[in-house]
Amino acid sequence: MRVTLRILPQVKKGVCGNGSGITGTNRDLRIREDIPKYLLNLDENSAYYDPKIRSMREDLNPDDNPNEKFYAGYNRYRMGGQALEWKQVNIHAWKASGRGQDIHPEAALTQAELHYRWEKDIEEKKRLCKKEKIMEKYGNAASED
């Protein structure tokens, strides 16, 4: 009886298929030279770090100069820029759906945003018209006449 041995290709331990040298379990970990946010302020009363979702919403050092901060918390980004505008579009859509209008910001973002801007313009025109009527009726107290 004759036995043939097949030689299998050697597999190098710890090497991905793409040859990057990074294992699949180690790929998602942070770079060890980076300092974690929760180690920047070790005071017990500082911001809470939630390890489950890996976020720290509050500011670590609220008394420091905001221009010199390394990290100011996730709330800084949640309450400014387009996030605030998106929140206002959502609130407008909720109010419009209460009035019987069919606006859905997740399904039709452009429609919801255009409707929000259109109603915002109408409100601004109404406010200016009301201001002009008051100025005609009572005049401007700050004028020199």
pLDDT band (50, 70, 90) for residue 145: low
pLDDT at 105: 83
pLDDT of 75 strictly over 80: no
pLDDT, tens digit, 9 for 90 and up, residues 108-127: 888 899 999 999 999 999 99
Q: What crossing angle do the helices spanning 109-138 and 82-98 adopt, rounded to 10°?
A: 80
Q: Hey, where are the domains in the chain?
A: 33-79, 83-138
Rounded CA separation 124/117 (Å): 10
Rounded CA separation 29/120 (Å): 46
pLDDT, tens digit, 9 for 90 and up, residues 6-37: 666 665 555 555 555 555 555 556 666 666 66
pLDDT band (50, 70, 90) for residue 130: very high
Contact 98, 72 (CB under 8 A): no
